[in-house]
Amino acid sequence: MGATKRFFAEFREFAVKGNMMDLAIGVIIGAAFGKIIDSLVKDVIMPIVSVILGGRVDFSNMFWVLKAPADYGGPRTYADMTKAGAVLLGWGNFITIFVNFVLLALVVFCLVKAANVARQRIIKEEAAAPAAPPPTPDDVLVLREIRDLLKSDRRP
């Protein structure tokens, strides 16, 4: 029973450490940031690219049919053809996901670079600032006080 309590006590200490909480916050913010990048790619960048490439807006339906069922006569969308058993090469979706990755990597790179520049600036400022003198020890302060009292009692 003692080993179990000790195990859970160690786990509780691990789970509520500052680093673990920082990691959890980072993951949550990263997930939200990923959604922002997804929207940027899907709603802003890919429509521009699709106009440049000929006016197609839906990149998820850009694919090549490698093998279609012989009797298939339904809609030629990625979802419908996959459901019918066609073998498809979905290159449009891959391009969308690849652009998402490149943009996310670029933004993360810029954030890390900015954090490093800020960290270096702080380090330079701390190095340039004169160091504060160490505090005077209490015994020296007491001796100075005694000296000053003795000086004030002396008469010329």
Residue 155 lies in a domain: no
Residue 63 · residue 88 · CB < 8 Å:
yes
CB atoms within 10 A of CB 63: 20
Give the single-character DSSP code of 89: E
**Beta-ladder partners of 30:** none
Residue 82 lies in a domain: no
Residue 106 lies in a domain: yes
Express each pLDDT in 112-143 by its tens digit: 899 889 989 888 887 777 777 888 899 989 99
pTM here?
Answer: 0.54
Residue 10 lies in a domain: yes
Domain with 27, as residue range(s), is 2-57+90-130
Residue 66 lies in a domain: no
Express each pLDDT in 50-59 by its tens digit: 788 777 666 7
Residue 13 lies in a domain: yes
Residue 33 pLDDT level (bands cut at 50, 70, 90): confident
The total domain count for the chain is: 1
Residue 23 lies in a domain: yes
